[in-house]
Structures are given as C-alpha cells and as structure tokens.
A and B are shown apart, each in its own frame.
Chain A
Amino acid sequence: QSVLTQPPSVSAAPGQKVTISCSGSSSNIGNNYVSWYQQLPGTAPKLLIYDNNKRPSGIPDRFSGSKSGTSATLGITGLQTGDEADYYCGTWDSSLSAGAVFGTGTKVTVL
C-alpha cells in the first residue's frame, strides 16, 4: 500500500504537455527530496528527476519536476511516442514505518 498517490493514467497527443501529480504528507514529500522514474515496458526504472527538480546528465529538458508542500509534479513537454511508459515518484518517509517509498505509478499514453 503506497503512501504516495498518483493518477493511474494520463494521455495527450504528440507534441503536447502532460503533468503527473504525486501526493503525500509531511512525513514524506513535505520534508524529503523527491525523485521521478520512467519505466519503459519490460525494462528497469530510470532516474528522470532528483532533488525535486534536477535532471541527471542525458535527461532532456522536456522533463521537469517541482514540489510544493506535500505534493510534487512531473511535467513532460513536447510529448513523443517514446515517452509512453509508467512513471513513478519516490521519496523517503520519516514516519514510524520509515523507509523509501514510491508512488502508485502513472501510465502515460501518447494518443
């Protein structure tokens, strides 16, 4: 049972923009760094965003991250067919059941 809630799916046409929300609480997103991962079908997750809004080397600037309070958002602009994947947010939870936690996952479909 994930403590981070994401919409199950989002979709848009090629070239358009999508945003994916990740809702948590003060014990996780509110006081910890947020990262985002892209999981293409049949492959391992890949780091897209870390430290709330930073991109690792090689990740295009079409991907962006932000955090406000106990929620975080991933944005993808100039949507491409190759962006069709599952996306997960992640952070640390400092509650009694402390540990790394992931969001429920969002399937991005390019129409």
Chain B
Amino acid sequence: QLQLQESGSGLVKPSQTLSLTCAVSGGSISSGGYSWSWIRQPPGKGLEWIGYIYHSGSTYYNPSLKSRVTISVDRSKNQFSLKLSSVTAADTAVYYCARRGWLQEFDYWGQGTLVTVSS
C-alpha cells in the first residue's frame, strides 16, 4: 500500500521560505505515468493545488503561485519537496502531498501538515 508522509517546519516567519518534504513508501516515485503533487488547505477553507513534479523532474505549477514555488524530486530517497518563498499569513494552511494518477485524479494523500506563518 502506497503511503505518503509530509515533514518540515510547522512555523515560518513572514518573508521567509517554507520547506516541506514528502516521503513515499510502499512504491517507487519513479513509477511511470504518475506525478507527485502538493495541495494546501487554509483553515476552514477549500483545497488549492500548488503544483506537481514527474520523476523525470518536469514540473507544473499553479500560475497564481508560480513565481514563489519550487518542487523538486530526490529519486534516491524516494521523496519530493516543496519550497514556497516570501510567505505571508495567507500561506498558513495544512499542506498535503499526493500522487496524481493517469486520469488526473489524486489517488493517494499524505496526512497533511499544518504550516503557520507568524512572527
């Protein structure tokens, strides 16, 4: 059974960079046809897709966040990472990593990690 687990700092100061990692177990991040995504959910609000990466390293970002987002993959560690720069309070959210399948569905999700932006 594929499992995803987020880790990283839960508290980030305004203007700094948020960094999270998603460890994938029970399967290879290099499996063909899948992409690996980050999705966030501000407290009490809906879901917002941040971006995804293929095992090849190809990325695709939400246009509204593109200037601040970097997603990278480490195939040797079977994990992928998110960096979001110049954060503000509006970036406070639960951040989820997820696998995106062939038909655009997000079929496996991590449990999520709350990141708070505050001084």
Cβ-defined contact, B105 with A99, below 8 A: no
Contact B109 A44 (CB under 8 A): yes
Q: Which residues of A approach B to under 8 Å, CB–CB?
A: 2, 32-33, 35, 37, 43-47, 50-51, 56, 88, 90-92, 96-105
**From residue A45, how far is it (CB to closest CB) to chain B in Å?**
6
Residues of A close to B105: CB separation below 8 A:
33, 35, 47, 50-51, 90
A80 CA to B58 CA in the complex, in Å?
42
Q: Which of A33, A56, A99 has the most CB of B within 10 A?
A: A99
Please name the 6 residue pairs, one residue from A and one from B, whose CB atoms are nearest each other, closest first. A50-B105, A100-B49, A35-B105, A102-B47, A44-B109, A51-B103
The answer to whether B96 touches A101, judged by C-beta atoms less than 8 angstroms apart, is no
CA distance in complex: A32, B106 (Å): 14
B49-84 with Cβ < 8 A to chain A: 49, 51-52, 60-64
Contact of B112 among A2, A44, A50 (CB under 8 A): A44
B25 at the interface (CB under 8 A from A): no
**Contact (Cβ within 8 A) A45 B104:** no
Evaluate contact between B103 and A50: CB separation under 8 angstroms. yes
- A35-B104, A50-B101, A51-B103 known; A102 and B49 CB under 8 Å? yes
- Known contacts A33-B104, A33-B105, A45-B96; is-contact A97 B64 (Cβ 8 Å): yes
